[in-house]
Chain A
C-alpha cells in the first residue's frame, strides 16, 4: 500500500509543479537555516569533556565583597593569596591552578627569528584530572611542583614544529630565554570549548603549544597573557606587591568524585572564607560557589548570544515555512476533493485517505530535506561570513547532521500535513466529480 501511496503522491506532486516547488523550497530553506545555525550552536555548546564534566569543579570565593563583586557573584578566578591557600589545603581528589602565558621560542636553525608560542602555566594534577593523553613521557609529579622544577610538557603539534616529532622527553627547550626540561609530549588534545580557561581566554582559540610548571613560571615573573581583574584602590607597585593584591587571575579547578566529596568541599570553601572573615581579611560573610563544567560554561556565557539569537530566529523561520506548507498542502489536498470523494465511494476508508496524503507529504519532506541538505552544505562554506572565524571553523557538516537534516525535514512536513490530510479524509464519498 505504501508504494501505491507513494506513486500516487509523486504523480500528484508532478501535476502541480508550482505548488510542489514552493513547498519543497519552503521546507528546504527552513531546514537549512535551522541546521546551519544549529551546527554552530552545537559546536559552541557541546560538552568538552563528557565523561568527566560532572566531577570537575570551579571553586569561587568572594574576595571582593558585596559592594565590589559582580552583582553578588564572586569573581570567576582566584587572587594569588586565595589560590595558594586553597591548593595547599589539598581538600580535593585532585586540584590545579592555571593561567595563560605567551613566550618566545627559537627554532633550531641558526638564522631563525623567534616565534611566539602560547600555553598555560599549570600544576601537575592538570594532566591526570583533565585526562590529557601523552605521546611520550608524562606530566610532572607533586614533588616537582613543590621543588619548583623547570618542567614543561609540549603538545604534539609544537613538538612536531620544533623537533620534527621526535621523542624529546629529557631534552631541554629555551622559552623566552629560560631553559625548561621536557618531561612529556601530549597527544592532540583540544577540548572545545576550552572549558578550563574560559574565564581568561576565548573558548575557541587555537590550541596551546605547551604547559609549563606554574611555580617555575611564577619564579620567573612570567606575566599572565590573559585576564587580570582588580577592585578598589590599587596600591601595588611591582610584581611581588601585585601577587598580594586583590587582583584575580589564577583559574582553579578541583576534581571531586562523589556528591559527598562535593558537599565536603563546599563546606571547606565556606570554612576558608569564614576564617578569612575572622582574621579580618574579608569584611563580609562567606560567599562561595562550586560549579561543575557545564554549569561553569553556562555561567561564563560561553555560547555567544549571536549563536543563540540566530538559532532562535532560524527556528522561527522554519516554523513560518511549516505554516506556509500547511496552507499549501491544504490547498493541494482540497483541490482534489472530488477525486477523494470518488476514492471514498470506491471503498477507500478515511484511514486510507489519511495515510495516502501523509505519504505524499513525506515525499515532499524528503525532497525538501534533500534541498535543505544542499543549502546547508552551501551555507556551511559561508558560515565564516556569518560568525567569528574561531567559531565558524568548528561548525561542520558530518554524518549526524546530514541525518538530522533529512529526519527533521520529513517529520516536520508530515506533522504539517496532519491537519490537511485530516480535512481530506473528511470528504464524503461521492459518485461524481464536482467542483466546489
Chain B
C-alpha cells in the first residue's frame, strides 16, 4: 500500500525511527546468537552415551591404604564378588574411567609406528570381559574380550595390549572404508594393537569442547586397573532396583573391607547424576540465554509499544485529518502496521550484519561454530512478528481516533 508517504513521514522522525530500528537490530543479533548457543548446548547435553544409563551407577572406591599392584588386584576381585552377591546387581566391572566423567585418559592414535603427528585422539577405557555387557554397549562387529586376555595394570605401568575394541566413530576415522575389524593401529607405542571388536557408540570420558572433533572416538583395552589410589566400580542393576542397589553397594563394600573411602556425598552416583553434573555449565548457559532471550524480546516489544503509543498520541490530530479525508479504520491500522514493518525491516537488515559480526567474534574468541542461516532467518521472522504484534494495540487505538478529532481546536 502507501509505502512512499510513510517513508517520507518517517524521515521527519529520524531519532525515533533510528532508535526502534537499532533496538530491533541489536535484539536480532543477540537473539540469533543466543538461540544458537541454546541449541548447541542442549544438543551437547543430550548427546547419547551409548550405554544403558537408566540401570547404571558408579562407585568411586578409594583405598584407605597404599596397595601394591597385586594387593590392589586381589582386593578388587573380592569387591567384585561382594557386589555381585547383591540381589539387585546384574553385573559389575572395574574401571579407571567412564563415559561423561569429565576428563580422563586419552591417547594419540596413529596408523604407523613412526608417525609423529597423530591421526586422531581417542578416549581410553580399560575394562575386563564384563565391561561391554555391564555398560550395555552394543557390539556391532567382532567379539568381546576373553577373560584370559585381560591383564592387570599397576602404578605408572605402561603397555599396549595386543587387542582392542573400539567405537564405530574411531573405526570410521581410522579406516573410512568400513574394514577396520582385524586391522591394527598404534597408540603412543611402537607395538600395534589389533581391532577385534567394534561397538556402535561409546561416548568419550570428557565432555569438553576441545574434543569435539573426536566425538565418540573411544577405545577399550583389556586391562584391569590395579592402581594404588583406587578404582571405579560400574554396576548394572536389574530393572527398577537402581536405588536399592545404590544404597546397598557401599554397605557391602565396607562389610568386605573397612579400609576404603567411599564419599557419602558423591561416592555413589547414578548415571542420571553423572550426566546432570557433566553438563552443568551447558544447562546453565542454555537457561541463562533463554532467560535473556525472553526478557529481551519482552523489553523490545514493550519499547515498541511505548514509542508507537507516543507517536499515536502525538499524531491524533493528523489521524483525525486522515479520517476526515476518507481513511477507513483499516487504512489507519495498516498505516501503523506498515510503518512498523518498514522500520523493523530496516532494523533486521542492520541486525543481520550485527548478528554475523557477533557470531564471528564468538567464533574467533570462543571457538564457537558459524551460525547457520536458518537461525538468522528464524530470528528475522520472530522480530518482524514481534514488531507487528507490539504495534498492533497502539495501531488499533489509532484507528479508533474519531475523524472529528480534525476539528478540535489546536
A interface residues, Cβ below 8 angstroms from B:
18-19, 22, 25-26, 29-30, 33, 37, 67-68, 102, 104, 106, 113-116, 176-178, 220-223, 225, 230-239, 241-242, 304-306, 308-310, 313-314, 316-317, 319-321, 323-324, 326-328, 330-332, 334-335, 385-389, 419, 423, 434-436
Contact = CB atoms under 8 A, between A and B. Distances in A.
A234 B285 CA distance: 39
A107 to B, nearest CB: 12
Given A33-B292, A242-B156, A385-B284, A230 B188 contact: yes
B325 interface: no
Contacts of B254: 113
B26 A327 contact: no
Contacts of A19: 306, 310
Nearest to B259: A114
Contact of B303 (A26, A177, A231): A26
A327 B307 contact: yes
Interface in B294-332: 295-296, 299-300, 302-303, 306-307, 309-311, 313-314, 316-318
Interface in B192-210: 209
7 contacts: A25-B299, A37-B288, A102-B229, A236-B158, A327-B20, A330-B307, A435-B317
B15 A238 contact: no
Contacts, number: 184
B139 interface: no
Contacts of B299: 25-26, 29-30, 320-321, 324
B280 A389 contact: yes
A313 to B, nearest CB: 6
Interface in B1-31: 15-16, 19-20, 22-23, 26-27, 29-30
Nearest to B280: A388
Interface in B350-392: 358, 362, 365-367
Given A310-B288, A313-B34, 6 more contacts: A114-B261, A237-B158, A239-B155, A241-B156, A320-B30, A419-B15
B155 A436 contact: no
Given A22-B302, A102-B62, A306-B281, A236 B310 contact: no
Given A238-B157, A320-B30, A386-B284, A113 B314 contact: no
A435 B406 CA distance: 12
A408 B28 CA distance: 25
B48 interface: no
| 7 tightest Cβ-Cβ pairs between the two chains A and B | A331-B310, A114-B64, A324-B303, A386-B284, A327-B19, A242-B156, A116-B261
B257 to A, nearest CB: 10
B392 to A, nearest CB: 16
A99 B157 CA distance: 19
Contact of B362 (A221, A304, A309): A309
A435 B336 CA distance: 20
Nearest to A19: B306
B19 A237 contact: no
A320 B23 contact: yes
A67 B113 CA distance: 15
B366 A305 contact: yes
Given A331-B307, A334-B314, A326 B62 contact: no
B116 A67 contact: yes
